[in-house]
Structure 1
Amino acid sequence: MTVYLDRFHFPDNVSEEIFLSNEERLKATCYSSVYPFTLFFEKGLEELKFEPVTFLYGGNGSGKTTILNIIAEKMKIQRGTYFNKSDFFDDYVGLCEQHTINSSFSIWRNSRIITSDDVFDYMLAVRCVNEKIDIKRENLFDEYMETKYSSFQMRSLDDYEQLKKNNDVKKHTFSKYVKRNLMGNIREQSNGESAFWFFTENIKENALYLLDEPENSLAVELQVKLLKFIEDSARFFGCQFIIATHSPFLLSMKESQIYDLDETPIAGKKWTELENVRSYFNFFKEHEEEFK
């Protein structure tokens, strides 16, 4: 299994304090936030070491998405959607350091960060396509019924196309007629299926992928399928993943590293030790008899 990003260093408390004390722009009253400075002060975050698959776990506001964005900006990893950076984001990124191995231009060219916005935009695009198809289907229904019950007679070669359409209608049921005329455009997928398809289409070989809560929009069975896809991509196709997630199904992945960002200091954990996972376990344990 492959590692491209081995370690990532964040500015320590001293470096942050020096920057904040000397930064002229801080004297301007228009800046009410120095994010992402001070976000990890109490957590003692100075370095993360990565495996072929590494999970960032934590509640809302724990900083897991921020870490992905910091890494992406430092390494200039490509994005699908616009990232609205805060005023001091680039300054913070400038104080960070990455340590890479097995790297090449092609790896970084193919690497990318995939956010919920990317997946949502894709699902929205699929929905728009389907809506256009629905409109065309309605038009085809009107066309089918009008043609089927018309008293058409061919009078010249100008009527040849209409004759072909009449014959096509007579040879097929409405459903077959519609499928023939919509073939190549039909995408009969749920939002979850579209989201899963997005990951399988955009994750290629030999690259680093930063995934921000990929479980969003995925039902349990699709989360399990995504788990297997990520495992296979890391094991057989030279991919490395850093994933921010709450999903107990993804977190159960074998041979992965998990960082619990709810801990102070941030600590490595087994998936069975995580609070969210323990909550699931305790809930089903309480209802164990109902499953028998």
Structure 2
Amino acid sequence: MIFLKSFRIPTDDEEEFFFIPPPVNPDYKTKNFRTVYQTKYPFLFFPGRGVPELEFSDITIFCGDNGCGKSTLLNIISEKLSLPRETPYNRSDFFEDYTELCRYSLSGKISDNSRIITSDDVFDRVLDIRRLNQCIDDRRAELIGEYITERRNEEPNNLSGLEDYDRWKKAHSMRKKSATQSQYIRANLRRNAEERSNGESALAFFVDRIADGGLYLLDEPENSLSPGNQMRLKYFIEDCARSRCQFIISTHSPFLLSLRYAKIYDLDTVPVTVAPSWTDLEGVRVYRDFFAEHEEDFGD
């Protein structure tokens, strides 16, 4: 299903006009000429690159070398459409001004579960699980010490307050039920979050976040994924595209570039063009040439 039909970034002339002062440009902003701003990004990034009005299919891919603007385009689209995201991204004081000049067309209302998912989101999730489990492990050590201490404590003859009563009640409960250390800890501690490898956690993150009927912008989702998991993600995306999802993806991965029926914009070409086939892409041919050079090493 197609939610976003097309998107157009400012033309070279529109970018140039933005920085022309009054009276020629009545919308000129004072900050446009101030030198305190070290960057006017994303202004001045795409002029001369010949980026056309982008027309989208169920699966559209931005590919190209590092620094070609794949992630920048995704962030611009996400900002213009006000899509939710989980982590901050590289932006400047001029980002909002730039997106105001962008134009887009929709086929219908974008669903609420639409979002942009970046590799930073995945990394943060992996680190969150580690931090959570570390806190649980620390608490487990405290409970072991608490259990040993309370089992050794004698029951007080005089209870002088609620604190003494609570301590007596805990120790009495242990003795009465003959609770083992493991039983006591299980009753007072949540279980560790399920631990997976980084790649397994990354793949699970995409599966958890992507629901039927949404527009999803994926920024280099192959990060942290093994070749096998990249293939699993490819099949998952293809299945979701058949379930009323639309994807716009930036990637270097030949596995994701081979997504069936994907429309691929090659950002290394000037002007930017749609690649006839994923096998024509320079990045893919690097892999092909490498394996061809080492064909004898496989011994098949």
Give 1:76 deviation, angstroms. Answer: 1.0
Q: Distance in 2 between matches of 1:191 and 1:267?
A: 35
8 Å CA contact 1:133, 1:186 repeated in 2: no
> Quick one: percent identity of the two aligned structures?
47
Return the match for 2:236 from 229, 235, 238. 229
Return the match for 1:247 from 233, 253, 263. 253
What residue identity is the alignment partner of 1:134? D
Return the match for 2:60 from 54, 58, 64. 54
Q: Which residue of 2 aligns with 1:257?
A: 263
Q: Distance in 2 between matches of 1:126 and 1:273?
A: 40
What are the within-5 Å matches in structure 2 for residues 124-139 of structure 1?
Answer: 124-136=127-139, 138=141
Q: Give the secondary structure class of the aligned counterpart of 1:243.
A: strand
Alignment coverage as a number of residue pairs? 279
Q: Distance in 2 between matches of 1:187 and 1:228?
A: 24
Tell me, yes or no, if structure 1 residue 192 matches structure 2 residue 199: yes
Q: Give the secondary structure class of the aligned counterpart of 1:79.
A: coil
What residue identity is the alignment partner of 1:261? L
Q: Distance in 2 between matches of 1:283 and 1:143?
A: 60
Aligned CA distance change for structure 1 residues 84 and 99 (closer, same or farther; 3 Å): same
Q: How big is each residue's C-alpha offset from its partner over 1:38-63, in whole Å with a ceiling of 9 and x where there is no partner?
A: 21112111311111111110112111
The normalised TM-score by structure 2 is: 0.82
Give 1:253 deviation, angstroms. Answer: 0.8
Return the match for 1:38 from 23, 35, 44. 44
8 Å CA contact 1:112, 1:210 repeated in 2: yes
Aligned CA distance change for structure 1 residues 136 and 26 (closer, same or farther; 3 Å): closer
What residue identity is the alignment partner of 2:128? A
Q: Distance in 2 between matches of 1:33 and 1:151?
A: 66
CA-atom RMSD, angstroms?
Answer: 2.8
Q: How big is each residue's C-alpha offset from its partner over 1:95-132, in whole Å with a ceiling of 9 and x where there is no partner?
A: 1111100325xx1x221111222112111100112222
The normalised TM-score by structure 1 is: 0.84
Tell me, yes or no, if structure 1 residue 96 matches structure 2 residue 108: no
Q: Which runs of 5+ in 1 are unaligned?
A: none
Tell me, yes or no, if structure 1 residue 114 matches structure 2 residue 117: yes
Q: How big is each residue's C-alpha offset from its partner over 1:62-109, in whole Å with a ceiling of 9 and x where there is no partner?
A: 1111111111111111121234531221111111111100325xx1x2
Q: How big is each residue's C-alpha offset from its partner over 1:171-217, in whole Å with a ceiling of 9 and x where there is no partner?
A: xxx7x998887674341211221111111111112111111111111
What residue identity is the alignment partner of 1:274? L
Q: Greater helix percent: which structure?
A: 1
Aligned CA distance change for structure 1 residues 161 and 245 (closer, same or farther; 3 Å): same
Aligned CA distance change for structure 1 residues 277 and 143 (closer, same or farther; 3 Å): farther
Q: Which residue of 2 aligns with 1:19?
A: 18
Q: Which residue of 2 aligns with 1:208?
A: 215
After the TM superposition, which segments of 4 or more aligned residues of structure 1 sit over 6 Å from their partners? 140-144, 150-154, 176-183
Q: Distance in 2 between matches of 1:280 and 1:178?
A: 52
8 Å CA contact 1:58, 1:260 repeated in 2: yes
Q: Distance in 1 between matches of 2:188 and 2:63?
A: 48
Q: Distance in 2 between matches of 1:64 and 1:181?
A: 48
Q: Which residue of 1 aligns with 2:126?
A: 123
Q: Distance in 2 between matches of 1:266 and 1:188?
A: 42
What residue identity is the alignment partner of 2:123? F
Q: Distance in 2 between matches of 1:272 and 1:38?
A: 31
Q: Which runs of 5+ in 2 are unaligned?
A: 22-27, 156-167
